Chain A
Amino acid sequence: MSRETSLVTADWVAQNLNNPSVAIVEVDEDTTLYAQGHIENAITFHWREDLQDGLIRDLVSKEKFEALLSKSGISNDTTVVLYGGNNNWFATYAFWYFKVYGHADVRLLDGGRKRWELDARPFVTEVPTRTATRYVAKERDNSIRAFRDEVVAAIGTKNIVDVRSPAEFSGELAAPAHLPQEGGQIKGHIPTAKNIPWSKAANEDGTFKSDAELKEIYQGAGVDLSVDTIAYCRIGERSAFSWFVLHELLSVNNVKNYDGSWTEYGSLVGVPVAVGA
């Protein structure tokens, strides 16, 4: 868990495009992006179709995860490099997901699709074929995943970090502004949560800020990182980004991603809600 073991640069990826021990995986919300062009030899996972159960709201089962990775040609000892659009939101979600299932060596391309595009690096449309494997996942590691009862109990006792935009935190918007403002949830945030938008951790090109800058973002907001921390957003992908910053880049162990996030919390009956800045 450090910048050196969890993050790779575009140059590193460019040098490992044909490395058989590396699998490059694009993870997006918008599936058309991969078809339009992707990094050479990258395969793609769709965050909903491949990574959500589909019947109940949950991660896919261990068996389904094993089947996905096996057919994708990923072995237990493969170095998996994740990247995607949306400033790596869904790629960091996938990173957290791979960690939940105990994959040993998973890394994130710093800056994702955007930095790659801004550098005018090439995309291809050819879809690679990888030889199928027999992947064996570990049991889920729930030490990095928060559930709703734990979140309610954390109000006023643990750090709760709301990583959505200020407009979503205050209740002005119900969703990120690239999505229609609909949904069944009420608006607002979990009481005692601090609003530290995920974007504070990223440079304008989508790459991460320095460790010193990242520490200052949390310390400056008065978050005592020796206390357990739960990060949430709307559906758990932006909070996976902030979880990555804390858990992987800053090596803070006691951090969980609440992937139920506001779409769950904002639908619960009777739980406290706060509005305003």
Chain B
Amino acid sequence: MRTCGATPGGPSLDGIDLTKQTVIQGVILKEGENDSVPNGAPVTNGHVRLLDATGEFTAEVPTNQEGQFRFFAAPGAWTLVVQAPGARVEQVLIAAQGVPTDLVIHI
């Protein structure tokens, strides 16, 4: 979820031609007992899969050491499925070319 005022959490976009790419990215955070948005700990052993509008698998990446992920998709509706030990979260989104979709997802 990207809430108003939250700091987008994906990797740096330096060097990416956003006029040509439809970027979907973000960070996966795990809620600790004393954590509140956006102070969760990065999930470094997560897997994020991208499903198309029909629910078909399109791609999957592991989260990096900062809990981040990135996809280069096409404009339209997509679903992210986040998996980590003991957790599974889905996130529906609309992606657009030129404006990166940058998410903070809590599990």
Contacts and interface: CB of A to CB of B under 8 A. Distances in A.
Contacts of B59: 165, 176-178
Contacts of A119: 85
A205 B83 contact: yes
A114 B47 contact: yes
B14 interface: no
Interface stretch (B1-9, B33-41, B64-72, B99-107): B64-72
Contacts of A176: 58-59
B56 A165 contact: yes
Interface residues of B, number: 29
Contacts, number: 72
Interface string A35-60: 01000000000000000000000000
Given A85-B62, A181-B21, A173 B73 contact: yes
B81 interface: yes
Sort chain A's interface into a size bin.
Answer: 20 to 34
Interface in A169-192: 172-173, 175-181
Given A36-B65, A120-B85, A165 B74 contact: no
B20 A181 contact: yes
Contacts of B45: 117
Given A166-B54, A177-B72, 18 more contacts: A33-B62, A114-B83, A117-B85, A118-B83, A119-B85, A120-B85, A166-B56, A167-B74, A172-B74, A173-B74, A177-B58, A177-B73, A178-B59, A179-B72, A181-B22, A197-B56, A197-B57, A204-B81
Interface of B: 16, 20-22, 24, 45, 47, 49-50, 52, 54, 56-62, 65, 70-74, 81, 83-86
Interface of A: 30, 33, 36, 85-87, 113-114, 117-120, 165-167, 172-173, 175-181, 197, 199, 204-205
